[in-house]
Structure 1
Amino acid sequence: MRLIIAEKPSLARAIADALPGSVSREEGALRVGDTRVSWCLGHLLEQAAPDVYDPRYKQWRLDHLPIVPERWRLTPRPKARGQLKVLRALFKQASEVVHAGDPDREGQLLVQEVIEHLGWRGPVSRLLISDLNRPAVHKALAQMQDNAVYQTLYHAAEARARADWLYGINLSRAWTLTGRQAGHDGVLSVGRVQTPVLGLVVRRDLDIARFVPRPFHVLWADFQVAQGIVRGWWQPGETHPLDDQGRLMKRQPAVDLAARLPGAEGRLTSLEAQDKRQAAPLPYSLSALQVDASRRYKLSAKVVLDICQSLYERHRLITYPRSDCRYLPQAHWAEARATLGNACANDPTLEEWLADADFSLRSKAWNDKQVGAHHALAPSGATPDFSRLSTSEANIFRLIARNVLAQFYPALQTRDVKAQFTVLDERFHAQGREILVAGWKPLFASRDDAPPLPPLSEGEAARVIDQAVEDKETRPPEPFTDASLIKAMMNVARYVEDPAVKRTLRDTDGLGTEATRANIIETLLDRRYLVRQASALRATHTGQALIAALPEPATRPERTALWEQRLRAIAEGNDQAAPFLDALIVDLRTLLASADAERMRQALGSAEGFEAAPKRRANKSGGKRKTTRRRTSASTARRGSSGS
């Protein structure tokens, strides 16, 4: 008997439906001829609790730390015992086992740890499925490989699970105990990913709380030229008081110049035009989709992930969603007309976009060299029934289909124009953009492009017909949202100060993975380290205190991002798990030595003051930039660009 073990029941059903023969249901499995298709329910096993290794660890004590198992053990999750019993019985009947976990590191671990836990010693094949529709599953069944090919992936996932246990168990116990000594009642959870993510938010909130707005001033003038009106922005020279971004810090020079401008004659002294081509945005990875959906529809990262899982498992409308890749296999290009034809049926917007697609085009998205275990999110080729989709499901599906459709549109071609006017020996800049070929752009919401300038000729006369001084203030950084925090986790190198580490991290996956980033945010919210304020994510008093009490390396992204880099090396066979874990244990001892109740007490006290600071400033200034104008004439201008 052949036993196929899927990661979830939905995948098991898709596999059974693709096998030849009728499907019948058994307890915890599906039967198709001499094949049984069973499943896990997520992780059936988990790392054993410390007291499983030694009963004395049930009591939390600082002198027990670090807790390092000599021989690692897994225990069944409380709700998994029934399914493990089913699988144990099926293993006794099996002559062959097929591993059908999801095609990623965790999917490899999830099923293989069950196979090894239940003592199977026979052959194991690997079935990789990223699309639940029958033709795709049937094709995958014909292309199975020996599971031994994926052992390095399993070792990396196992090392990740053990490292997270070591890091989380030991540091959480240490800082919870010092927190109790400092008067904090409750568990203080520390994790190798969640804590640096919390650190990003806390530091952003601190920057906002400490921000002191500074006034600056801009002067614009509207120039009458031969074929229209252009707004230019004064470029004060270095003799004026400027900040490091070239902004004018004193108002009087702008006021003095504005008084001289009415009716002044000048010339267009410099004109530059540059034609540009921009390819369509690539198909989505999960994180890229979460960023766009958060901005467009105000959906949390977790909601977007859940919608994608529903579109994949329940509706079977998209391919495997937990992907970090934005490229598609070259073989999919030939099938795209049929796949997108089905995907766009029954929706007027998608059908309109489909009608204008040119399927002879081949964008850079079709690239086997860029495709790893997964490819980008794409429609599966099933025809959607929009009456069965929620509004959010339909919106997310359209985004996914749109980004693949855009690969069959021409490049966006624009002409960017920069003009410099000289009047009264002062320079004014204007810029605009003309769209030459719209290409893929109509599929996307309008972006904040500078409007086109009227036809211009270098050297032509220009007369000032209006001008104004605008008084502004520098603005604090924006608080993190789901979109910006996911983006920060993806591009963590920009938050690293060490140049060498920054260069290294540009090539890694950042903080967390596609599959975990949304859950990391939700975990921080559930543990009350973060709260939502409208769309903003802000750190709570407890979250602020925890970051202040921990040693700085534990709160910054460098360590965990470098972990991911090393785990990737293990997965690719270029590193070993044992040295990685040995180095972690050395690091843990250093971190544990810095646990200090007095530092925690000070952190709890300073966090109270920090939490009140933004409220005081908001009451004083309202937190908004102030803009006033002093106008010298009333004519209406056509704007060339914004100079601030």
Structure 2
Amino acid sequence: MRSIVICEKPSQARNVRDAVGDRYGKVMALRGHVIKLAEPEDVNPDWKQWGFQLLRPTSGFYPLNPDSSDGKGQLIKDIGEALQSADRVIIATDCDREGQGIGENVLRWFKYKGPVFRAIFNKEDPASLREAFEALRPNADFLSQYQAWVARAQVDQIANLSATRAATLALKPEGMKGAIGIGRVRTPTMAIVCRRQLEIDNFTPKTYWDLWVEVERNGETVRLHHKPGSSARIFAQAEAEKFLASMSGWRGSVVIDRESKRQKPPKFMDLPTLQIKAAQWGWSASKTLEIAQSLYETHKMTTYPRAESRYLPEVEAGNAPVMLAGLQTLELAPANYPEPEIRKGKGGCFSDKQLEGSSHHAIIPNVKTSDDWQAVYGRLNVDEKTLFDFIARNYLAAIGPDRLYERTEIALDFDNRKFATVGIVETDAGWRQVFSEPDEDDNLSESVQESG
């Protein structure tokens, strides 16, 4: 059988060759989208001249065209010749919508009619790739994923290019170079940011008065604060002084409310959540992705970085003890850290249902390379170690026990205004013990820093 394996890029092809050799056929590397949608002027010559037209082909769809730029012409020719004699094709591109489009567009352009299979993997270490090739699935199972790529690409081509041309012609200032790019996602997002910035710029500060009182109980003095919503604040000094004067000598009930509470650990990381965290270190979103890609592709230390889910398949729960032991060897977990606490299903971190429709699970350390972690960890640069450490600690937190604490509120009510203070005493650090700095777990789980 003459079989070929199509990978998305040369580095991926090298990883596949290292893992399975040529047992599944000749491994060939693309360079991203070598077959892409045609340009507007390729569909209608009149559209070469920029105007205000809706660039929608009569058929409703832009056809596919080969991209011969940057030396891709020979690569496309080689793939085409290989497909002519192939009895079977395996698509081994990235397992997301974009990867499906990259691989399947090549087959559709060359009208390949033979059997097509899909290798599904979230990790590119040899063991994971071998498992993926041993469990090939019919490419037809991923038709809906390809259709999602078609829908996204077509609407981007029609809407984005039409709007970009119109905006450039109508709004471009004199002397400005280039076009005014319009995107159906980026532009509305930018509008939200701009609108918020305008609100900040146009905000007029207004002085208000914070009220606090000191109450004595059993010989101890406690300060209670009044912190109402913005609509109930006191803006006049005379009103504040009058209110406090009315409380002078007040005697009454002070309510003390004590509760034992627990704080669940954070879920695993997806890319957006990871980028939000890394922004606290001064990293841009693109830098975070670049470092995460290096940990995944070069060092095989973590799973696929472009994850859009914060859950793991339930079968992954069985790897938790191995992960814990491996991360303890890197001193990322205390030696006495409790045995993994697995939370499955609704409300848990291991949930098959929550992953329905997702191409990739959350970003976690790659258990398949855990035996090599110590050796590889020493070769990571500072940024790679920083990101890996956080991904690892987040994993450990997610399989750790709940954090336990006592919450005490002391409060009084006077003239429909509440004065209170809240204290929190941690009784069991639980999952938080894996974070060495107090703010390392910020934004990862529900806040417990409360005030009256």
Normalised to the residue count of structure 1, the TM-score between the two structures is: 0.62
Secondary structure, aligned partner of 2:420:
strand
Name the counterpart of 2:321.
337
Q: State how 1:183-222 maps to structure 2 within 5 Å.
A: 183=174, 185=176, 186-222=178-214
Structure 1 unaligned residues grouped into runs of 5+: 24-31, 237-241, 450-482, 488-639
Name the counterpart of 2:354.
370
Conserved 8 A contact 1:357-1:408: no
- Distance (whole Å) between structure 1 residues aligned to residue 415 and residue 204 of structure 2: 35
Name the counterpart of 2:236.
250
Percentage of pairs with the same residue: 29
Residue of structure 1 aligned with 2:32, choices 28, 32, 42: 42
Cα gap change, 1:342 to 1:437, in 2 (>3 Å): closer
AA aligned opposite 1:255: E
- Distance (whole Å) between structure 1 residues aligned to residue 115 and residue 46 of structure 2: 40
Offset of residue 360 of structure 1: 4.7
AA aligned opposite 1:275: S
- Distance (whole Å) between structure 2 residues aligned to residue 438 and residue 416 of structure 1: 14
Name the counterpart of 1:140.
132
- Distance (whole Å) between structure 2 residues aligned to residue 369 and residue 426 of structure 1: 46
> Does 2:369 correspond to 1:379?
no
Structure 2 unaligned residues grouped into runs of 5+: none
Conserved 8 A contact 2:314-2:351: yes
Name the counterpart of 2:57.
68
AA aligned opposite 2:380: L
Name the counterpart of 1:4.
5
Q: State how 1:482-521 maps to structure 2 within 5 Å.
A: none
Offset of residue 221 of structure 1: 2.9
Offset of residue 256 of structure 1: 4.3
Residue of structure 1 aligned with 2:160, choices 159, 168, 180: 168
- Distance (whole Å) between structure 1 residues aligned to residue 200 and residue 227 of structure 2: 29
Offset of residue 259 of structure 1: 6.4
AA aligned opposite 2:260: D
- Distance (whole Å) between structure 2 residues aligned to residue 403 and residue 280 of structure 1: 9
> Does 2:335 correspond to 1:355?
yes
- Distance (whole Å) between structure 1 residues aligned to residue 416 and residue 167 of structure 2: 64
Conserved 8 A contact 2:393-2:434: yes
Q: State how 1:546-585 maps to structure 2 within 5 Å.
A: none
Secondary structure, aligned partner of 1:406:
helix
> Which string of whole-angstrom CA distances, capped at 9 and with x for unpartnered residues, describes residues 377-406 of structure 1?
111022153332121211111111111111
AA aligned opposite 1:18: A
Secondary structure, aligned partner of 1:132:
coil
Q: State how 1:222-301 maps to structure 2 within 5 Å.
A: 222-226=214-218, 228-234=220-226, 243-244=230-231, 246-256=232-242, 264=249, 266-295=251-280, 297-301=281-285
Offset of residue 261 of structure 1: 7.4
Conserved 8 A contact 2:311-2:350: yes
AA aligned opposite 1:72: Y
Conserved 8 A contact 2:40-2:55: no
Offset of residue 430 of structure 1: 1.5
Offset of residue 44 of structure 1: 1.5
Which has the bigger relative contact order, CA under 8 A and spacing at least 6?
1
Cα gap change, 1:163 to 1:423, in 2 (>3 Å): closer
AA aligned opposite 1:7: E
Conserved 8 A contact 2:270-2:362: yes
Name the counterpart of 1:52.
42
Offset of residue 284 of structure 1: 0.5
Conserved 8 A contact 1:410-1:439: yes
- Distance (whole Å) between structure 1 residues aligned to residue 211 and residue 394 of structure 2: 41
Name the counterpart of 2:18.
17
AA aligned opposite 1:59: Q
Matched residue count: 431
Name the counterpart of 1:614.
none
Offset of residue 268 of structure 1: 4.8
Secondary structure, aligned partner of 2:430:
coil
RMSD of equivalent CA atoms: 2.9
Conserved 8 A contact 1:283-1:404: yes
- Distance (whole Å) between structure 1 residues aligned to residue 383 and residue 426 of structure 2: 32
Cα gap change, 1:112 to 1:228, in 2 (>3 Å): farther
- Distance (whole Å) between structure 1 residues aligned to residue 197 and residue 317 of structure 2: 46
- Distance (whole Å) between structure 1 residues aligned to residue 405 and residue 78 of structure 2: 62
Offset of residue 101 of structure 1: 1.8
Normalised to the residue count of structure 2, the TM-score between the two structures is: 0.87
- Distance (whole Å) between structure 1 residues aligned to residue 138 and residue 407 of structure 2: 55
Name the counterpart of 2:429.
438
